[in-house]
Structure 1
Amino acid sequence: MKDNFSFKHRLDAFFFVAGASILLVRTIIMLSQNSMISMVGWVAALLFMEFLFDLGWLFSSILWWISNKRKWLKITLRLAATAIILHAIRVLIFILGRVGPWIDFDYRPEYRPLQYSDRTWIYFAAIMSILGVIGVIVVWIARRHLKTRKGSQ
Structure 2
Amino acid sequence: MSNFFETRERTIRYETFEIYHPAVGVHRRVKGQFFDKQFKLEATAPRNASEIVTFEPAAFETQHPEVSEDSVLTMTTQMGNIGSMIKSYLKQIKAYDMALPNTTATEYIYREFINGVPSVIYLWISNFSIQGDSVAFVASDDNPNSINVAKLYKAQNFPGLRVIS
TM-score, normalised via structure 2 length: 0.25
Greater share of residues in helix: 1
Structure with greater strand share of residues: 2
Q: Larger C-alpha radius of gyration, 1 or 2? A: 2
TM-score by length of 1: 0.26
